[in-house]
Structure 1
Amino acid sequence: MEPFIRHTLFNIKDTSDIQTVKPISGGDINQSYYVATREQAYFIKSNEHVSEHFFQVEAEGLKLIQETGAIRVPEVYYYDRPKSGEKAALVMEWIESGPSHSAECFGEHLANMHQHTLEKYGYGNPTFIGELNQPNAWCPTWTEYYSRYRLGSQFKIGVEKGTISSLRKQRLLKLMNKIEQIIPDTPKASLLHGDLWGGNWMAAKDGEAVLIDPSVLYGDHAFELAFTELFGGFPANFLDEYHASFPLPDDYQDIKPVYQLFYLLAHLNMFGEMYGGHVDRILKHYVG
């Protein structure tokens, strides 16, 4: 591993002695390492089974979030665009972590990030949700983007994998065809992290919240908040702080399940039928 890391650091002109290489647990897709040289410490991800743009889209997402000035992200120093079978790396700033409950004003900072908007929905490049490909395009309405590129992409993957068939398939098709009756057509198109579960944020040593591993898009901010409530892992006052800065719509509780559905479909397609019951309950709630 050290020759690969040495070669990787050569790309950012750090030729100082490597003092520490330590594997970091927590990721299902990449190998991750704490690397300290005589000059500084780094967080390095590596993988040899990813698409050419895999690390590029993460780096671009971090840059977009960083440019808002609303919330901290790691500085990106370098990423590879690998050819098939080549080992690739993403080199970032190492941020020393603190206790998660110390993330002061996390909700407020995320709300400020969501105030950065465009006049269109979606994203201009394909991204990923976990290890699944996420096709994107710019759309004039949120309902078109969400139905075609979010629910529709998971529908296609699920049919191919066999996780979406028979009654589940019929219900999901019916839901996509009536999505305009459930979610807003043209909400603010906020910059969203896109994969904001409890493992994709951290508290720095000074208590500042830090976002990591984005899969960015522009869309309804309620979509992002719905996912934060699906698997937990956020400070107790997170939603209150958020709501005080950027109130959620009055019908948030009504639309929250259909927004959570996308992430549950992705988990169904990645991990299997343990998520099927939850998917079916949401589909039955909306389409019978």
Structure 2
Amino acid sequence: MNPLIQQSLEAIGDTSSIQETTSISGGDINQAFYVRTKEEEYFVKTNKDVPEHFFRVEAKGLSFIRDTKAIRVPEVYYYGEPAGNEQVALVMEWLKGEPTGDTEERLGRGIANMHKTYGEKFGFEEDTFIGALPQPNRLVGDWTTYYHDYRLVPQFNIAAERGQLPLERKQRLKKLMERLPQWLTHEVKPSLLHGDLWGGNWMAGPNGEPCLIDPSVFYGDHAFELAFTEVFGGYSEAFYRAYQEEMPLSENYEDIKPLYQLYYLLAHLNLFGEAYAGSVDRILKRYVG
């Protein structure tokens, strides 16, 4: 592993020898390392057999979030673009700290202010990933159309290919997708979203400053992002209170929240199997009986 990391560091001008390389757990997709040279500390991710834009689009997403000046993200120093099945690396700033008493409040305000950065359309200009799954994108003028065509339909197709849609589940999911407009009736502006905001994708940096990592950015309903934060937890009451002080949720949020959570649960069904089937089925029964 060191030759790849050494080459990546040399590409950004750090030619000093590596003093320490420590594997970091927590991710399902990449290998991750803390790397220390004589000059600097780095966070390095590696992968192989991934599409050419796999790390590039992550770096692009971090750049979009950084440009909002709403919340901190790590600086990206280098990313590889594989020509085939070669192993490549993403080299970033090492951010490490301990949370303080106001870290989660600052997190809520930071994400809310990020969501106040609006695009002209919904979606994104480039395909991204949710975990290892491809996430097709386009820029479209209508949120319901985007959510149907570029979020639910791709996961439906993957689930069908992988045998995750027995007849009853398949029929209910089709019916729900056809009826989306009857539930998504609130006004939506295209907010910049992190796109994969589970509790493991934020961390405390220096001085307890909240930082976001591993984005899959696009422009969408800010309630879609908040709904996902409630699927697996990792966020405090202080976070939600601070968020809503800056960016109130619509009156129908509780009614549409499971509808938005469905996308991420379908993705987890496709990534990890039947452990997520019960959650998917409960949402489908709630909306289409």
TM norm. shorter chain > 0.5: yes
Report TM bin, short chain. Answer: over 0.9
Measured in 1, the distance between the counterparts of 2:7 and 2:205 equals 29
1:123 alignment counterpart: 124
Residue-by-residue CA offset, 1:50-87 (whole Å, 9 max, x unaligned): 11111011000000000000000000001011022111
What is the aligned partner in structure 1 of residue 41 from structure 2?
41
Q: Which amino acid aligns with 1:161?
A: R
Measure how far apart 1:10 and its partner are.
Answer: 1.1
Counterpart contact for 1:142–1:184, Cα < 8 Å: no
Structure 2 residue aligned with 1:230: 231
Change in 2 beyond 3 A, CA 1:185/1:248: closer
Q: 1:100 to 1:27 in 2, by over 3 A?
A: farther
| Aligned residue number for residue 245 of structure 2 | 244
How do 1:138-287 residues align onto structure 2 when only pairs under 5 Å count? 138-184=139-185, 186-287=187-288
Going from structure 1 to structure 2, the CA distance change for 1:204 and 1:102 (only over 3 Å counts) comes to farther
Distance 1:76 1:98 in 2: 22
Residues 85-111 of structure 1: per-residue CA shift (max 9 Å, x gap): 111100000001313765241101100
- What secondary structure does 1:206 align onto? helix
Secondary structure at the counterpart of residue 231 of structure 2: coil
Q: Distance in 2 between matches of 1:184 and 1:217?
A: 21
- How far, CA to CA, are the matches of 2:250 and 2:66 in structure 1? 26
The offset of 1:238, in angstroms, is 0.6
TM-score (norm 2): 0.97
Uncovered stretches (5+) of structure 1, i.e. residues with no partner: none
Instruction: Report the equivalent of 1:92.
Output: 92
Matched, 1:54 2:49: no
The 2-side partners of 1:122 and 1:30 are apart by 25
Code of the residue aligned with 2:262 in structure 1: it is L
Partner of 1:70: 70
Q: Quick check: 2:227–2:260 contact (8 Å CA) kept in 1?
A: yes
Scaled by the length of structure 1, the TM-score of the pair is 0.97
Match of 1:20 in 2: 20
Whole-Å separation in 1 of the counterparts to 2:3 and 2:80: 16
SS of the residue 1:230 aligns to: helix
Q: Which stretches of structure 1, 4 residues or longer, exceed 4 Å deviation after superposition?
A: none
Structure 1: which amino acid aligns with 2:232? F
State whether structure 2 residue 127 is matched by structure 1 residue 107: no
Q: Distance in 2 between matches of 1:272 and 1:100?
A: 37
Q: CA RMSD in A?
A: 1.2
Amino acid at match of 1:34: Y
Three-state SS of the structure 1 residue aligned to 2:44 is strand
Per-residue CA shift, 1:99-157, capped at 9, x if unaligned?
37652411011000000001210111110001101011111100000011101110000
Count of matched residue positions in the alignment of Structure 1 and Structure 2: 288
Which runs of no fewer than 5 residues in structure 2 stay unpaired?
Answer: none
